[in-house]
Chains A and B, each alone.
Chain A
């Protein structure tokens, strides 16, 4: 028994090394920077939590955080219901299934930076199909000048790019529901809404949780697309936390504040993911206290 255990540790070693190089060491470096100040000549001074206090008080950070939160909220509010609706509308069997799945998968295959470039060109008033088209029917659309247009562009782009992911996840959950549930619902005289509310939604809740977490983290950390399309503008109107962070770290080379900010950023994501997870799995906790448990 002992030998078997030791062997197991050796097997895990490569993974541990990988995790250390990938995550722990960079994280510690950031922690290290976040509590020191430097004037660029490789001399560091201990400043304690000064950077953290400064970031947390700064209006620039508040604004960027607000914008990012708003963006994520809008993305989730649109993509999750839309994804569910599309998944419900997709055929469950027959030749239509594979066609729908391929169509749904297409946007997911395009890399972030390419998506950004596509929409940047697509939306341009002078040559873009969308921008020019809108202009020609008299709609004043310009994402480089108008805040609302810039936001709309980014949101439509993200919805176009990522709703498919939600659709595919929900669809996989839906097709896994046994036919007998629908039969029972017909016998019970359930309405379409009741079927969704009491059968489909509970049964896809787990995959929906994954979809929400993935879409939240992705949208909260969005960088490439706004960077390519709007560059954070007009003004600061689309400067999300990630863009702000890069500007601070690379543009102004303020390593200390940038490190502190990225740690705060990281903790916010962790916290919000935990909140989502707890809220959405609260039913499962409830179940373990029930009669006789679910041992199979």
Chain B
């Protein structure tokens, strides 16, 4: 188990990691999700021991590893760039951690073949990395991390430089590959969809802080605040401000009332968040929230349509199934089930998610 307790790291005046506490279990996949410069790589470097935190402790299986140099920590790391030994064959590349560990030749041969089989590299063992495609090169780097049987495996956006389709393929394979290792597995990504496919646990990062940590789907459904909701939404989460006055929620500009069932109506200012796929062209219940605006642009992907529209000055997007082509400036109307509304207070913390009215 890897535990980070109030870990902070600064370089000059800039805070790279800000008071992070996490406890990551062996055998589980942990995802660090956040935009570029959110501190994912910095946090990984602290975990690996490449950098030392300015404050806080890092414990591995209960003992502090702060004084232990990287070489002695049994860490494996895979980077966004495909890093292999250019002059060595694929076999020697994969075998290198075992050679350093001083394993016997027969054991090396056996295990390299095993891992190569698993990662579909068996045919390529005699080639050198530069003769391989990007996807194959990254498989070699993954194989090297896999064969090391490290206690801590750090994957820093390993699929970012690969083709979309290849990414999809490897994404599906990855969790299974590392599942049996019993290592603490950390995976950094900028893409919400990647986190969702991989599952496991997710830590949403923003400007060096961990906004929220928990089971991936749980986090997606119940973001603790607006930042987490924004980080964990693709297409971006739609937002609009609403006010509560005299026990009644209303949009401030139109003054139109909305009903959020089972939400305590405390007076004040709020922010309403709705994920794009929760906007529907049809009414699905009597208590649906209605809103709309004029279309700015429609994007069609063949199976889905992304309708961008202007809702009272906020850029909103609706993800609809099938082909729904609206020309620019068309006025559209959408319906939202109340339980799909995320309600945040003025400090951007989640207040509540309205419960569906009974009978729904």
Contacts and interface: CB of A to CB of B under 8 A. Distances in A.
B37 A295 contact: yes
Contacts of A11: none
B289 interface: no
Interface residues of A, number: 5
Interface in A1-41: 1, 4
Contacts of B11: 295
Contact of A295 (B16, B66, B67): B16
A4 B67 contact: yes
Nearest to A293: B14
Contacts of A58: none
B67 A1 contact: yes
Contacts of B16: 295
A292 B66 contact: no
Nearest to B67: A1
B172 to A, nearest CB: 30
A292 B37 contact: yes
Given A293-B14, A295-B16, A1 B66 contact: yes
A293 B11 CA distance: 12
A276 to B, nearest CB: 25
Interface string B123-147: 0000000000000000000000000
Nearest to B42: A295
A1 B14 CA distance: 25
Nearest to B66: A1
A175 to B, nearest CB: 19
Nearest to B39: A295
Contacts of A292: 37
A4 B69 CA distance: 10
Contacts of A295: 11, 14, 16, 37
A295 B42 CA distance: 10
B17 to A, nearest CB: 12
Contacts of A293: 14
A292 B67 CA distance: 32
Nearest to A292: B37
B71 to A, nearest CB: 13
Contacts of B67: 1, 4
Interface string A54-88: 00000000000000000000000000000000000
Interface of A: 1, 4, 292-293, 295
Enumerate the 9 nearest inter-chain pairs by beta-carbon distance, A residue then B residue, closest first.
Answer: A1-B67, A295-B37, A4-B67, A1-B66, A293-B14, A295-B14, A292-B37, A295-B16, A295-B11
9 contacts: A1-B66, A1-B67, A4-B67, A292-B37, A293-B14, A295-B11, A295-B14, A295-B16, A295-B37
